[in-house]
Amino acid sequence: MDNEPNLRRRDLLALIGTVAGSSAMYHAMTSLGFASESAYRGPVKLEGNAKGASVLILGAGLAGMTAALELRKAGYKVQILEFNSRAGGRNWTIRGGDVVTELGGFKQKCEFEQGLYINPGPWRIPYHHRALLDYCRRLNVTLEPFIQLNHNAYLHAARAFDGKPQRIRSVKADFQGGVSELLARVTQQGKLDETVSKEDQEILLQSLRAWGALDRDHKYNANLISAEFRGYARDPGGGLTADPLPSEPVGLSEILRSRLWRYLQAFARYNFQTTMFQPVGGMDAIGKAFAREVGEVIRYNARVTQIQQNGSGVTVSYVDAAKPSIVQQATADWCICTIPLSILSQLPLDVSGPMKNAIEAVPYAGSVKIGLQFKRRFWEEDEAIYGGISFTDLPIRQIAYPNYGFNRSGRGILLGAYLFEGANSYEFTAMSPAERVASAVEFGAMIHPQYKHEFENGVAVAWHRVPFTLGCSGEWSDAARTQHYRNLCQIDGRIVLAGEHASDLPAWQEGAILSALDAIGRLHERVVKT
């Protein structure tokens, strides 16, 4: 960029540090959002001699491949055993031609048009996931925006507004407008006199007028002030039809009873704030980028059957998917195990009682995603919805619009359902893939009637039926985390665990990477010392 600000932030910090000392600098850094934002401390530096030690890594997901990449760089001999025939684990993208076989033998062949895809696992990256973003930069993974909040997407409740979906912008404007009008009235009636000073009341009224789009009488009405937020009945135009017409707000009572307000705050949560990202072409670009670096040390199609250790090393038994009767063994000085706990808890494993108890204490969340291909991008053509997510209380819960290929003619893919925990995720898991797709179409048509004519085919992934995870992610209860988390993360003899389940960012890729970096840091310290 040519337009560097005259005083860059780093220079400003240096200046503050010089003038006021380091505690002032830390305070400034924190208030500039610099110091306390992420647990990531930049590229890991494993200093000291690895002494040719060998590390066997179980699982070629993001945790396993992060560990492999960094340990190899530090001089370790590294080998990975991977259950699947591809790298990435839950970092996964499904495209046309892919065959998805789930537990129980249910088989789907994805019929998507070339270039279209669905990310059945992780699909968005928050701006504060600095470790993942750093690896994307270092591994040349091109990112594009993931649109979390689209004001023109819908909020929908089956029993509100006669089942008609409402634009997010109008629900937001009407909720803020109604609440602001109410609070302004209470303020003007003097009911806040005991708690808010006169001077602050004046400022409060000003802010309510701005925040709630109120008129000069502090009323929320159909006019061009509120229309600027909730949208127009007729947009401003040109020539002789230029006059905009305001739209009619919905009253506070109806908004409250619709319960649609409950979705609004979700957009403000730290994990879902803008800017979010997705890799261009599919989330698996990240897994593939890691595999370009460490692919040659991955042994694919290897199902681990036993993990043993003694004072001198680790021995892992595994079978090849094609020859399951022949048990093979891999040995190393150390082992980093990223196998999901849903599977690890079933394996014979030489670790201490406390770690074993921790491994057995974490159930796995149910989650379902359903991708649907349509003949045309009607959500854009008919409804001007470009990316983002509509929320509903129907069992599909969400419809997410593609954040790529905007305004193109031809086919497109919707995420037609995204369930995470709750009864519906189990109910959808219990269906056959074809039933899941048919249900998603049926429910989705209540929000987008175009489904009926435009739907072509779909693919459904229920994570409890995914052979390589048996669930979506580690579902820690607060009690289990208090009792078991530290025991799970300790180095036990020559074995240490990593993965999203060994992080406080469950189900996020950042958690997998941070857990791997933490584990290899501690492992390396031990190797260097011994």
Partner 1 sequence: MMTTAKTSGVVMLALLSTTVALAEDNPASKRTFSSGYRFVEMTGEELFANVCQGCHMPDALGASGAGTYPSLAANKNLESPGYPIGLIVNGRRGMPPFGDMMTDGQVAAVVNYVRTHFGNNFTDAVTARDVQDVRR
Site for partner 1 in 420-449 (CB under 8 A): 422-424, 426-427, 429-431, 435, 438-439, 442-443, 445-449
* CB neighbour list of residue 269: distance below 8 Å, 6 or more residues apart: none
471 binds partner 1 (CB under 8 A): yes
Q: What is the DSSP string of 45-70?
A: ---S--TT-EEEEE--BHHHHHHHHH
State the minimum distance, in angstroms, from the CB of residue 383 to partner 1.
Answer: 7
Q: Is 468 in the site for partner 1 (CB under 8 A)?
A: yes
Least distance (Å) between residue 190 CB and partner 1: 26
H or E segment at 253? helix 252-258
Longest dimension (CA), the chain: 87
Which range of residues in 68-76, 138-146, 268-276, 363-371 is near partner 1 by CB under 8 A? 363-371
Residue 346 near partner 1 by CB under 8 A: yes
- Which strands form 302-310's sheet, in the order they lie side by side? 302-310, 313-320, 323-332
- Of these, 342, 367, 392, 515, which contacts partner 1 (CB under 8 A)? 342
Supply the minimum distance, in Å, between the C-beta of residue 411 and partner 1: 21
Amino acid at 470: L
Integer Rg of the chain from CA: 27
Residue 456 interacting with partner 1 (CB under 8 A):
no
Q: At 95, which amino acid appears? A: R
Q: H or E stretch including 517?
A: helix 509-529
Binding-site member from 21, 48, 104, 190 for partner 1 (CB under 8 A): 104
Residues 6+ away with beta carbon under 8 Å from 357: 484, 487
Amino acid code (one letter) for 202: E
Quote the DSSP letter at residue 448: -
Work out how close the CB of 106 gets to partner 1 at its nearest, in angstroms, rounded to a whole number.
10
Secondary structure letter of residue 349 according to DSSP: B
Q: How far is the CB of 63 from partner 1 (least distance, A)?
A: 15
| Listed ranges 183-191, 218-226, 326-334, 402-410: which one lies at the site for partner 1 (CB under 8 A) | 218-226
462 binding partner 1? (CB under 8 A):
yes
Adjacent-strand bridge partners of 103: none
Are 370 and 416 in contact by the 8 Å Cβ rule? The answer is: yes
Q: Which is nearer to partner 1, 249 or 387 (CB)?
A: 249
Among residues 95, 369, 465, 494, the one that binds partner 1 under rule CB under 8 A: 465
Instruction: Please select the residue that binds partner 1; options are 16, 29, 69, 83, rule is CB under 8 A.
Output: 83
Can you give the length of the chain in residues? 530
Residue 205 interacting with partner 1 (CB under 8 A): no
Residues paired with 474 in a beta bridge = 364
Q: CB of 209: closest distance to partner 1 in angstroms?
A: 10
Binding flag, residue 231, partner 1 (CB under 8 A):
yes
Query: 61, 178, 279, 366: which one contacts partner 1 (CB under 8 A)?
Result: 366
Angle at 63 between CA 60 and CA 65, to 5 degrees: 45
- Contact with partner 1 (CB under 8 A) among 289, 314, 339, 498: 339
Site track 246-285 with partner 1 (rule: CB under 8 A), x = hit: xxx-------------------------------------
319 binds partner 1 (CB under 8 A): no
| Rounded distance between C-alpha atoms, residue 426 and residue 407, angstroms | 35
Please give the span between the terminal C-alpha atoms of the chain, in angstroms, as a whole number.
48
Contacts with partner 1 by CB under 8 A: the residue count is 72
